[in-house]
């Protein structure tokens, strides 16, 4: 659920802003030092055990502080670590073979070293600029043709 929420919050800037108050997972950002990193460094960060926030069991053995907290609530979300030769999420797929989790990971060679992402970024940017220019030009032409009387 938490991961689903995180993915939804990443789909569009506008949605993200709407998600501001819903507490998206920022644990990775807090672990990330200033400056840019290599994918290998990110992979190393993934090796550290996931942090569990809130809903920890009541030490007295009674009810937990979170009403929904059960055994699943304290279990960290399983996610494949794409560079440790282990099946971290228990789905039988290891590292880059786990397409669901490692699809976007740059060093998984079968996505052409990230060229899919590169083409997407350049392609969408150029297409958006062309579409916007076309939209303006077409509307301007129409507005002017309506403005100018025909001499038929």
Tell whether residue 7 is a contact of another protein (CB under 8 A). yes
Binding mask 14-53 for another protein (x = CB under 8 A): x-xx------x-x-xx--x-xxxxxx--x---x-------
Q: Provide, rounded to whole angstroms, the least separation between the CB of residue 80 and another protein.
A: 11
Give whichever of 14 and 67 is closer to another protein, judged by the CB atom.
14
Give whichever of 61 and 144 is closer to another protein, judged by the CB atom.
144
Tokens 């060093």 locate to 107
| 80 within 8 A of 98, measured Cβ to Cβ | yes
Tokens 């399983």 locate to 78
Tokens 């055990």 locate to 49
Q: Provide, rounded to whole angstroms, the least separation between the CB of residue 78 and another protein.
A: 15
In sequence order, the 6+-apart residues with CB closer than 8 A to the CB of 106 are 39, 113, 114, 117
Nearest-CA neighbor of 105 among 42, 12, 23?
Answer: 42
Q: Provide, rounded to whole angstroms, the least separation between the CB of residue 19 and another protein.
A: 9
In sequence order, the 6+-apart residues with CB closer than 8 A to the CB of 14 are none
User: Distance between CA 105 and CA 150 in Å, rounded?
Assistant: 59
Which residues contact another protein (rule: CB under 8 A)? 6-7, 9-11, 13-14, 16-17, 24, 26, 28-29, 32, 34-39, 42, 46, 104-106, 111, 113-115, 117-118, 120-122, 124-126, 128-129, 132-133, 136-137, 139-140, 143-144, 147-148
């Amino acid at each position: 659920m938490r991961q689903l929420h995180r993915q939804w919050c990443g789909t569009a800037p506008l949605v993200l802003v709407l998600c501001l108050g819903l507490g998206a997972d920022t644990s990775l950002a807090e672990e990330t030092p200033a400056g840019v990193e290599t994918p290998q460094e990110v992979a190393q960060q993934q090796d550290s055990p996931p942090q569990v926030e809130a809903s920890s069991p009541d030490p007295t053995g009674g009810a937990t502080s979170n009403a929904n907290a059960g055994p699943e609530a304290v279990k960290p979300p399983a996610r494949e670590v794409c560079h440790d030769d282990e099946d971290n999420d228990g789905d039988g797929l290891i590292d880059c073979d786990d397409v669901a989790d490692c699809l976007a990971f740059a060093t998984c060679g079968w996505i052409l070293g990230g060229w899919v992402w590169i083409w997407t970024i350049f392609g969408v940017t150029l297409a958006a600029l062309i579409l916007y220019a076309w939209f303006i030009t077409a509307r301007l032409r129409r507005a002017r043709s309506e403005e100018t009387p025909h001499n038929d």
